[in-house]
């Protein structure tokens, strides 16, 4: 297991966003995380990536307890993420976003605001890596376009590219194809599947069909708990899962 979440609890005031959550992610797999709105999916991603601290429980990455580390420390170890609401620098170009990304993961956001241009200059080394990833994602032709001029789907691709810049061991994707047309959504997952040779993915996604096609393993959340898990074919007919989605 490259990632292990052990009995994690996280509350916001009276709301138990995560309750006794445990899961394991095997290396070089794509693991899906589904569940209704407010079931705790993003909170779990935030806890794993260090954006939120657990109340109790532990998170292990490659056997190391990362529960009390800061986001940039966790990113340095090789856990990178994307955000449910795409976070890109709209006033910078695609290439600049790519170059800034690994810095952001390493140093945190504040450093970046103060030294933005300087850091871009320092990142000549990363340029080759950026081009390689942009080419792989088929958005290389957009490299000098401002990020705000990209379509929603292209912005999602860019965020995936930004997450890949640090060459992470595991990538946490929070709704990587939300609002993206089915053709591009499929293409994004095809790219993720190709990357599976090199790394591991934990993907939050509402589109169950696409998860069925691409995931090796799926966890289902409801009201802060994992209520089912298994291979896609095991999840498909699972009554708890059907209840959770149809029963509200």
Ligand X SMILES: Nc1ncnc2c1ncn2[C@@H]1O[C@H](COP(=O)(O)OP(=O)(O)OP(=O)(O)O)[C@@H](O)[C@H]1O
List contacts with ligand X (CB under 6 A): 12, 15, 17, 35, 37-43, 84
| Interatomic CA distance for residues 19 and 5, integer angstroms | 12
Beta partners for residue 4, in sequence order: 24, 60
We find the least distance from the C-beta atom of residue 123 to ligand X, in angstroms, to be 32
Q: Which of ligand X, Mg ion, none binds 40 (CB below 5-8 Å, type-dependent)?
A: ligand X
Q: Is the separation of the CB atoms in 17 and 43 below 8 Å?
A: yes
Q: Which residue lies nearer to Mg ion by CB, 119 or 241?
A: 241
With respect to ligand X, which residue has the nearer C-beta, 24 or 38? 38
Backbone angles phi, psi at 17, to 5 degrees: -75, -35
Q: Show the site string, 43-82: x = touches Mg ion by CB under 5 A, - = not.
A: ----------------------------------------
| Minimum CB–partner distance for residue 98 and ligand X (Å) | 26
In this chain, which of 39, 42, 200, 229 binds Mg ion, going by CB under 5 A? 42
The least CB distance from residue 81 to ligand X, in Å, is: 13
Give which of ligand X, Mg ion, none residue 37 binds (C-beta under 5 to 8 Å, depending on kind): ligand X
Q: How far is the CB of 200 from ligand X (least distance, A)?
A: 20
Interface size with Mg ion, residues (CB under 5 A): 3
By a kind-dependent CB cut-off of 5 to 8 A, residue 200 interacts, out of Mg ion, ligand X, none, with none
Instruction: Provide, rounded to whole angstroms, the least separation between the CB of residue 78 and Mg ion.
Output: 23
Please name the residue that has the structure tokens 């009995």.
7
HEC-encoded secondary structure of the chain: CCEEEEEEEEEECCEEEEEEEEEEECCCCEEEEECCCCCCHHHHHHHHCCCCCCCEEEEEECCEECCCCCHHHHHHHCEEECCCCCCCCCCCEHHHHHHHHHHHHHHCHHHHHHCHHHHHHHCHHHHHHHHHHHHHCCCHHHCCCEHHHCCHHHHHHHHHHHHHCCCCCEEEEECCCCCCCHHHHHHHHHHHHHHCCCCEEEEECCCHHHHHHHCCEEEEEECCEEEEEECHHHHHCCHHHHHHHHHC
State which residue, 42 or 103, has the beta carbon closest to Mg ion: 42
Taking the complex as a whole, the smallest distance from the CB of residue 42 to ligand X amounts, in Å, to 3
Residue 157 vs 244, nearer CB to ligand X? 244
Nearer to Mg ion, 58 or 206 (CB): 206
Q: Which of Mg ion, ligand X, none does residue 70 bind to, with CB < 5 to 8 Å depending on kind? A: none
Structure tokens at 98: 């790519």
Our CB check for ligand X shows the closer of 85 and 125 to be: 85
The contact set with Mg ion (CB under 5 A) reads 41-42, 84
């Amino acid at each position: 297991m490259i990632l292990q979440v052990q009995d994690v609890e996280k509350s916001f005031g009276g709301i138990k966003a995560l309750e006794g959550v445990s899961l394991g992610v095997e290396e070089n797999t794509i693991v899906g995380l589904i569940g209704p709105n407010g079931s705790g999916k993003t909170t779990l991603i935030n806890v794993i990536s260090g954006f939120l601290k657990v109340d109790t429980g532990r998170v292990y990455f490659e056997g190391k307890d990362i529960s009390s580390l800061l986001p940039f420390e966790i990113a340095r170890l090789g856990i990178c993420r994307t955000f449910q609401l795409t976070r890109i620098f709209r006033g910078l170009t695609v290439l600049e976003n790519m170059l800034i990304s690994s810095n952001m993961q390493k140093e945190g956001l504040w450093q970046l605001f103060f030294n933005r241009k300087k850091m871009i200059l320092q990142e000549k080394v990363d340029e080759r890596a950026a081009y390689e990833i942009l080419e792989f994602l088929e958005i290389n032709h957009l490299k000098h376009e401002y990020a705000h001029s990209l379509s929603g789907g292209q912005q999602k691709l860019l965020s995936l590219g930004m997450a890949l810049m640090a060459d992470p061991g595991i990538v946490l994707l929070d709704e990587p194809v939300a609002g993206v047309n089915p053709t591009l959504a499929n293409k994004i997952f095809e790219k993720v599947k190709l990357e599976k040779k090199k790394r591991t993915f934990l993907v939050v996604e509402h589109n169950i069909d696409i998860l069925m096609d691409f995931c090796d393993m799926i966890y289902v959340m409801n009201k802060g708990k994992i209520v089912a898990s298994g291979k896609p074919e095991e999840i498909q007919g699972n009554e708890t899962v059907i209840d959770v989605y149809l029963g509200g």
